[in-house]
Structure 1
């Protein structure tokens, strides 16, 4: 066994993250139909091609009037002749002049000359000599119930910036302005495989001494959430030459590669040996964190390889801290959106484990009396996978705390979907 396995230099998490991101650039872009752009990342600045609304818009069903015509004359309510009927989508046929009004619907274009819309409920109507008349029982104010041109967005205003994730609100904006095609970042394609002769396919019956390959499918789901496309490859047995061939093949085919397993210091931890073999540039092979201290990253011909722990908890955390930010940078997202959001919280119960490395403890968040409270998972060992499904945050326990008592203020990283 190589002594290199035991002399790894541990980087702090922020330094390791920055090292990874320094080798990542925003990816290629593609022009797609706006109607298919949900959950894609915008690669261009979109400006308003016109004012919105583009016409003066009625905020009520009622009558478009001149406000001055609604003021009582010697205590008498004036009667106005209704000269037009303006439904939504129609263009007014007549301008409003002294003593006239137009029936109008919510959202319809306000006629020229009118400076107010009065609610139907404050009016009375009658017909006299074939003429439709209306009176307003409460004087109107100029501008009342009229949305002016450009009230929401003036022409030329920036609607969306590059790096914006497109969702329902963004789609609404794009459709409103007739932006039917958008430039988005192409989804990175990520190759995934596990190593280990102990792994079974999830369809296989359980055998003595073996486990089913769950990490690969967990990683595939994490990759989709991050915005990329996973390609799941067959697991590799403990054969370094086969692993080397598969990794080199994958690095040529995919934008980045993620492996799980084989990065510790055991006799069969082939990924650790492969990264140290000199066939690629190793960025780091140890991080001052628990779980996942053996998390490893390397680069070959500009493409990143992440070799994550085979332990589910460590694999899960390693992806979130290193792979996910890399994918998001490839998608052109701004720097402040690359990492998991950080909140302050108080511990809801004590965490007593002591370690020389920073711990990222799976936990759940609650709000009590206006205070965010984080509860560490009861089972948080690196090998434990069952608490992943129940977690909404990673609680950061730095080594100087020597554990942490209930009520201690800590930082937490919000997991994807934590606020849903």
Structure 2
């Protein structure tokens, strides 16, 4: 058994005896936190960014910086909900088999126009869907329920049965009254929100500035995506993944490349990034190896250490510190752990900076589709796939969910939370899942 294996075994034994017991090594002085506590330590430093106005057509995916209220009723006038005739309901009371009531058609009102005359007893107006109801009319009869005739150049509409007041009329203010709240601050703007804002005449939308997120990868072993493989090297897949995840979360990624295992170089680049960007994320170098430089860097007493050990798998070594008021979040270099760490910690920070109402992944309950054996005493966040069958939500863990595994990330639309005291889980058991952004693929 190597020294590191012995060290890890001792730690796991100690942690399994007491899930809340703090643990420190000589070098890293790691204290174990639960995920929620670690998220809570980040929250005060996820400073709300300044508002800015963007054109309505560019507001999709942004977070509303202030509440929106209706400047006028919506609809702004009584309008017809179908093609037909605007009439006075009282004029139709005598209609009935075999009697037909005939009304003179005195106007034609297309959508977007207003009536040229008021409806009075014995008259009607041809009206189109969406057009404003003319004065005097109190009901609309659909085209299919009428007949027509022309006498002496005058058009008449025939009505065969009585009509009630208010039929086929959408009243002014049915959806919104003037001053009604429409969208709360922190709303994520999508197609529906844009439709409402457009209908209310909002050409520019106040939104929060997107956080600029700097990304470093660390490790002498890293190759760029376009470089050929050589012995002992691996391609840097974490940086492109983080770039996509940051955009998905609403941030603006700033890719600053890879840093070789050189503490002075890392210190210089990270400090520069902390002064220039809203959030700095690194991947790799936070384990307990001799060349894990991010672990050394975040321990330096030039700022506040928030956490450097979390009771979770994968990504227990996820680390966060504050330097000059900015967050430095050091994620594992293992792709699976990097992915999970981003979802649990970086995504909420990016959301909070934009004022998101719900910055954390939503929790759902699902039925486990297969047996699952808990691997250790840590809470585990298992990449998984959701499937809906006969109105029941099932979840299937990834076949291979090791921290270092990359390929199953693409097949996952949720994370199953496996508590440390869960024991053997069986197919049919209910489990809690964190829904990842995007559609259910199953």
Q: Shorter chain as normaliser: what TM range?
A: over 0.9
Residue 22 of structure 1, CA deviation: 2.1
Residue 73 of structure 1, CA deviation: 6.0
Q: Is the 2:64–2:187 contact (alpha carbons within 8 Å) kept by the matching residues of 1?
A: yes
**Pick from 138, 141, 165: which aligns with 1:142?**
165
Which residue in the other structure is 1:229 paired with?
252
Residue 43 of structure 1, CA deviation: 0.2
**Pick from 26, 36, 58: which aligns with 2:58?**
36
CA–CA distance in structure 2, aligned partners of residues 288 and 315 of structure 1: 15
Local SS of the residue matching 2:281: strand
Judge which range, 368-377 or 101-110, deviates more: 368-377
1:221-246 alpha-carbon deviations (Å, 9 max, x no partner): 00001000001112000001100001
Q: How does 1:138-287 map to 2 (within 5 A)?
A: 138-287=161-310
Matched, 1:396 2:399: no
Which residue in the other structure is 1:323 paired with?
346
Local SS of the residue matching 2:259: coil
What stretches of structure 1 of length at least 5 have no aligned partner?
none
1:76-123 alpha-carbon deviations (Å, 9 max, x no partner): 222111111111111101111110001111111111111111111111
**Pick from 373, 391, 398: which aligns with 1:352?**
373
Local SS of the residue matching 1:121: helix
Give the total of aligned pairs.
418
Local SS of the residue matching 1:22: helix
Q: Is the 1:313–1:380 contact (alpha carbons within 8 Å) kept by the matching residues of 2?
A: yes
Which residue in the other structure is 1:313 paired with?
336
Matched, 1:376 2:427: no
Residue 181 of structure 1, CA deviation: 1.2
Local SS of the residue matching 2:330: strand
CA 1:156 to 1:419, structure 2 compared with 1: closer, same or farther past 3 Å?
farther
Residue 70 of structure 1, CA deviation: 1.4
Q: Is the 1:355–1:402 contact (alpha carbons within 8 Å) kept by the matching residues of 2?
A: no
Which residue in the other structure is 2:37 paired with?
15
Which residue in the other structure is 2:430 paired with?
409
Residue 25 of structure 1, CA deviation: 2.2
CA–CA distance in structure 2, aligned partners of residues 60 and 373 of structure 1: 44
What stretches of structure 2 of length at least 5 have no aligned partner?
5-23
CA–CA distance in structure 2, aligned partners of residues 213 and 181 of structure 1: 40
Local SS of the residue matching 1:69: helix
1:268-319 alpha-carbon deviations (Å, 9 max, x no partner): 0000011112122110100000000000000011100000000000000000
RMSD: 1.5
Residue 6 of structure 1, CA deviation: 5.7
Residue 419 of structure 1, CA deviation: 3.8
CA–CA distance in structure 1, aligned partners of residues 198 and 296 of structure 2: 53
Local SS of the residue matching 1:91: coil
Judge which range, 26-35 or 261-270, deviates more: 26-35
Local SS of the residue matching 1:85: strand
CA–CA distance in structure 1, aligned partners of residues 347 and 42 of structure 2: 11
Matched, 1:100 2:130: no
Matched, 1:363 2:380: no
CA–CA distance in structure 2, aligned partners of residues 117 and 409 of structure 1: 53
Which residue in the other structure is 1:129 paired with?
152
Residue 54 of structure 1, CA deviation: 1.1
Matched, 1:27 2:31: no
Residue 353 of structure 1, CA deviation: 3.3
Q: Is the 1:292–1:382 contact (alpha carbons within 8 Å) kept by the matching residues of 2?
A: yes
**Pick from 341, 355, 359: which aligns with 2:362?**
341
Residue 7 of structure 1, CA deviation: 4.2
CA–CA distance in structure 1, aligned partners of residues 390 and 77 of structure 2: 47
Q: Is the 2:283–2:333 contact (alpha carbons within 8 Å) kept by the matching residues of 1?
A: yes
**Pick from 43, 48, 71: which aligns with 1:49?**
71
Matched, 1:387 2:408: yes
CA–CA distance in structure 2, aligned partners of residues 411 and 333 of structure 1: 23
